[in-house]
Structure 1
């Protein structure tokens, strides 16, 4: 299964993933120009790396992963995501959706199109998220669901 993810990442990268990864990185560089944009820039570089090689990894909220909140998963992260959405998120999401339409033209491109759709959703609110291997993300989400169940069943 890992070899399939590696092959998917190579095909993704050479068939256009490089362009959206560069778009994320460019947004990150623009955010780093001002001191106040550094949190957004950091998120752009994390998501840009994910946009280069998305297969085998997935985004997960940091509070789900760690079991505790931080500034990016608090109300400040929500405010940051709203600012991000208005300034750059819509444009990057639109880029991913255009790429998804181009990929969906062929049957072999449908998995790539679906990945672009997931990245477009991520582009709308990347603050408070991190990228981890799929197995870790699934385990963290199961653990978070178990914690919520225990908390609600008392």
Structure 2
């Protein structure tokens, strides 16, 4: 079931969201100082390709630097990636079949806004 959901997700919104995260990662890698944010953007972009069967958890050892990094991330790229998830969720929620995918998009908004201090793990 997860595989089927992931395939439908990939076609409907996963690929386009991945492109947004990849663009953010590329910009962050080019600016050199922002490479940690580029790594986070790439990690979440790969997660946005195939999200079913994975979950996001807080890292227990994330500290003040994650908070400061997240503030910078929201200013640089987080707000427009979160907006992309919200826009995609609204478009998917129009149909009955798209509702689970809209919900998955909305669950990804917090990590799009605040990616540092989070970890992506497989669900049991």
User: Scaled by the length of structure 1, what TM-score is found?
Assistant: 0.78
- Backbone CA RMSD of aligned residues: 0.8
Computing the radius of gyration from Cα coordinates, the structure with the larger value is 1
Of structures 1 and 2, the one scoring higher in RCO (CA 8 A, sep 6+) is 2
Structure 2 residues not aligned, in runs of 5+: none
Shift, 1:44, TM fit: 0.5
Query: Do 1:13 and 1:53's aligned partners in 2 also have CA atoms closer than 8 Å?
Result: yes
Q: Aligned partners of 1:14 and 1:102: how far apart in 2?
A: 14
2:108 counterpart (86, 95, 119): 119
Q: How does 1:1-154 map to 2 (within 5 A)?
A: 4-63=1-60, 69=61, 73-135=62-124
Q: Deviations over 1:65-107 (max 9, x none)?
A: xxxx1xxx11011000011011110100001000000000011
How many residues get paired?
Answer: 124
Q: Secondary structure at the match of 1:130?
A: strand
Contact 1:46 1:130 (8 Å CA) reproduced:
no
